[in-house]
Amino acid sequence: MARSIFITGASSGIGEALAVEFAQRGYDIAIAARRADRLEAQASRLRGLGATRVLPVTLDVTDFDGIAGALQRAATELGRLDIVVVNAGVGYSLPAGKGKFELVKRTLDTDLTGAIATIEHALPLLRAQGGGQIVGITSIAGVRGMPFLGAYSASKAGLHRYLQALRAEVYHEPIVVTELAPGYIDTDMNRDVPNRPFVIPVAKGAAIMARMIERRVGHRYVPVWPWTLVAPIFRILPTSFLAPRKKSTRRA
């Protein structure tokens, strides 16, 4: 019997690439995202790549009341959910105090509250079936608050701490908690960023992440090198190193 996986934010970026990777590995896949048209097109592609069964699930993770039903539907139609990948997220460049609070709120609602809500609704299903794996996608941005990415950095740092706490809480249960923290992976979300150190193609990132998920790791940066070395340094850099350069006011 094929293993099953539920992926949020699966219509683009890392989520879409992960769905492709697991289709090639022969998994049953539930792909969840807001854009139903994209999901239907993707489902056909995944079946052609080797997925045993593909279930498109229209889901906005900020519709907190709809998450439980989406997970239950996938568990019922696929028989069980071995892995739940909490990936749905948004990212905006948001200078503080510039009237962008609606986008700040959307970021926190999606990347933090929506992620936690997904996990909270998934856990009873995993416990009822005797176990499973929660995979939370955080970010290198959770290591250190980045200028113009305050809400995004806060949401990823918050999810990181939640996953740490959850891992301890379910330590004696047959539930694995995996956290993957990507650096720069080439997706639409970050292509307008002028400086993307150590960026890797999304297909390569998804392949690395799929291997880590199947190995049931606890926490890893993606890719492991150089970020495992860079992250501790990044954490202690002086603020002046990260601060945007002040525009010159001199006149010619």
Residues with active-site annotation: 152
Amino acid at 106: R
- Per-residue b/e over 91-130, b at no fewer than 16 CB within 10 Å? beebeeeeebeeebebbbbbbbbbbbbbbebbbebbeeee
Task: State how far the Cα of 123 lies from the Cα of 243, in Å rounded to an integer.
Answer: 40
For residue 10, which of 58, 75, 44, 47 has the smallest C-alpha distance?
58
Q: How far is CA 29 from CA 20, 58, 108, 111, in A?
A: 10, 14, 27, 22
Amino acid at 217: V
Residue 136: strand pairing partners: 86, 179
